[in-house]
């Protein structure tokens, strides 16, 4: 697996340089990024979650050194490091609290650990917030001063940037748009994380899409997915929709409606001007008729739910950086922190 970003040769790079690290459940991506968001080098390692965060950070430093050496560089050439990890976290304290898919990583001072291993200052962010900053810095949001990213994957994550500032919040919970309540009824769907009911994530994540399709088939709705009911994923729903399967198309459209409800609330609170849909679940994105139909349906439902001038002032678009948004955004947050501290000390 490699980065989809073009690799900029070192002699074209604009210094200072930053490392962006994006810790996922399976892989950890590491990118060397210049001052304007060009990728100069990239590597990926297995996270190996059960070996714990201290072991992972050691391997991140080894892999980073190897990547830098291949470019004729050293750690000393890096001005600052950005680290994105799944929540929950305490960002100011640099602590991992209880990331649900990292059971061996709970209550760990990951920033202090990485700083002592790598010997460079580390900026810390929630992974979806980092992806939001990546899209804002060099992706779909590059021409905007405010933006909200929704990441549609196993769960629904988010990143909110208002007036060029990332919203981290009081408990480092800022931008957790997936836990927004869109259905207050007592029998609303259960969120996979923490048992809350009616959260957007319980309706519009990839796992929720698969579950809603399975439920409809179990209750007798006809579909070409019937014979493979146990293996249904959001991707197979997309493929069935592309073949014209009515149930799959209905699931795609109802997912768009749920997202539009969430997006309306986000827009009514912070009026970002741009809402970006990222993550692995995009029903083919702009390249596919189903992805286009999904986006058009979100826009149409949003129009019905909001005010006309707000609708006209809001763009809803797919993300453009794919799986690279996380490491680019982590590097971008390090870049912003680096320049803010330079200004302060000047
Ligand atoms: Zn939730």
Question: Is there a contact between 210 and 239 (Cβ–Cβ < 8 Å)?
Answer: no
Length of the chain: 346
Phi, psi angles (nearest 5°) of residue 145: -105, -10
What pLDDT shows up at residue 68? 98
CA of 157 to the centre of ligand 1 (A): 10
CA of 179 to the centre of ligand 1 (A): 4
CA of 225 to the centre of ligand 1 (A): 28
Q: Which residues contact 275 (CB under 8 A, 6 or more apart)?
A: 147, 148, 149, 150, 263, 266, 267, 314, 315, 316, 317
CA of 181 to the centre of ligand 1 (A): 8
What pLDDT shows up at residue 1? 59
CA of 49 to the centre of ligand 1 (A): 23
CA of 343 to the centre of ligand 1 (A): 39
CA of 196 to the centre of ligand 1 (A): 5
Question: Is there a contact between 102 and 50 (Cβ–Cβ < 8 Å)?
Answer: no
CA of 176 to the centre of ligand 1 (A): 9
CA of 112 to the centre of ligand 1 (A): 29
- What are the extents of the domains in the chain? 10-126+326-345, 140-320
CA of 267 to the centre of ligand 1 (A): 19
Q: Which residues contact 34 (CB under 8 A, 6 or more apart)?
A: 8, 13, 14, 15, 16, 17, 18, 40
CA of 298 to the centre of ligand 1 (A): 21
Tokens (6 digits) for 138: 């060099």
Question: Is there a contact between 54 and 43 (Cβ–Cβ < 8 Å)?
Answer: no
CA of 229 to the centre of ligand 1 (A): 25
Tokens (6 digits) for 99: 């990331």
CA of 258 to the centre of ligand 1 (A): 14
Question: Do 10-126+326-345 and 140-320 fold alike per CATH?
Answer: yes
CA of 188 to the centre of ligand 1 (A): 12
CA of 116 to the centre of ligand 1 (A): 34
What pLDDT shows up at residue 192? 85
CA of 158 to the centre of ligand 1 (A): 12
Q: Which CATH number fits domain 10-126+326-345: 3.40.50.360, 3.60.20.40, 3.30.420.40, 1.10.357.10?
A: 3.30.420.40
| Region for 37 from its dihedrals, namely left if φ exceeds 0, alpha if ψ lies in -120 to 50, beta otherwise | left
| pLDDT tens string 210-262 | 999 999 999 999 999 999 999 999 999 999 999 999 999 999 999 999 999 99
CA of 195 to the centre of ligand 1 (A): 7
The crossing angle, in degrees rounded to 10, of helices 325-345 and 127-138 is 80
- As residues whose CB is below 5 A from the ion ligand 1, the structure lists 179, 191, 196, 199, 201
CA distance to 64, 74, 85, 92, 128, per residue, from 19 (Å): 8, 12, 14, 20, 17
CA of 166 to the centre of ligand 1 (A): 21
DSSP letter assigned to residue 88: S
How remote is the C-alpha of 268 from its chain's centroid? 22
Question: Is there a contact between 318 and 290 (Cβ–Cβ < 8 Å)?
Answer: no
pLDDT tens digits, the chain, 346 residues: what are they? 578 899 999 999 999 999 999 999 999 999 999 999 999 999 999 999 999 999 999 999 999 999 999 999 999 999 999 999 999 999 999 999 999 999 999 999 999 999 999 999 999 999 999 999 999 999 999 999 999 999 999 999 999 999 999 999 999 999 999 999 999 999 999 998 778 999 999 999 999 999 999 999 999 999 999 999 999 999 999 999 999 999 999 999 999 999 999 999 999 999 999 999 999 999 999 999 999 999 999 999 999 999 999 999 999 999 999 999 999 999 999 999 999 999 888 7
Q: In what order do the strands lie in the sheet with 274-278?
A: 165-166, 156-162, 147-152, 274-278, 315-318
Q: Count helices and strands (H / E) in the chain.
A: 10, 12
Q: How many CB atoms lie within 10 A of CB 163?
A: 8
Question: Is there a contact between 193 and 205 (Cβ–Cβ < 8 Å)?
Answer: no
CA of 178 to the centre of ligand 1 (A): 6
DSSP letter assigned to residue 77: G
What pLDDT shows up at residue 84? 98
CATH topology of domain 140-320: Nucleotidyltransferase; domain 5 (3.30.420)
């Amino acid at each position: 697996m490699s980065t989809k970003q073009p690799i900029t040769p070192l002699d074209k790079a604009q210094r200072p340089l930053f490392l962006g690290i994006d810790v996922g459940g399976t892989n950890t991506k590491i990118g060397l990024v210049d001052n304007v968001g060009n990728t100069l080098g990239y590597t990926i390692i297995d996270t190996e979650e059960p070996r714990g965060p201290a072991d992972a950070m050691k391997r991140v430093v080894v892999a980073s050194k190897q990547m830098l050496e291949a470019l004729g560089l050293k750690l000393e050439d890096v001005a600052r490091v950005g680290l994105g990890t799944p929540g929950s976290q305490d960002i100011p304290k640099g602590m991992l609290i209880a990331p649900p898919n990292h059971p061996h990583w709970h209550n760990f001072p990951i920033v202090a650990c990485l700083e002592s291993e790598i010997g460079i200052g580390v900026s810390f962010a929630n992974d979806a917030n980092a992806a939001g900053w990546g899209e804002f810095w060099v992706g779909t949001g590059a021409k905007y001063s405010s933006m909200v990213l929704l990441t549609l994957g196993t769960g629904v994550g988010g990143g909110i940037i208002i007036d060029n500032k990332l919203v981290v919040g009081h408990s480092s919970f800022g931008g957790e748009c997936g836990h927004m309540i869109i259905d207050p009824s007592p029998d609303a769907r259960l969120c996979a994380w923490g048992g809350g009911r009616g959260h957007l994530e319980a309706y519009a994540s990839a796992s929720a899409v698969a579950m809603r399709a399975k439920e409809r088939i179990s209750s007798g709705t006809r579909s070409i997915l019937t014979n493979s009911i146990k293996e249904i994923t959001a991707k197979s729903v997309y493929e069935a929709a592309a073949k014209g399967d009515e149930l799959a198309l209905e699931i795609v459209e109802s997912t768009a409606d749920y997202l539009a409800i969430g997006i309306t609330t986000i827009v009514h609170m912070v009026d970002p001007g741009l809402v970006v849909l990222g993550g692995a679940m995009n029903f083919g994105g702009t390249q596919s008729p189903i992805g286009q139909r999904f986006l058009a349906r979100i826009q149409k439902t949003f129009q019905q739910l909001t005010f006309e001038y707000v609708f006209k002032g809001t763009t809803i678009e797919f993300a453009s950086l794919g799986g690279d948004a996380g490491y680019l955004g982590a590097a971008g947050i390090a870049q912003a922190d680096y320049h803010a501290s330079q200004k302060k000390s000047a």
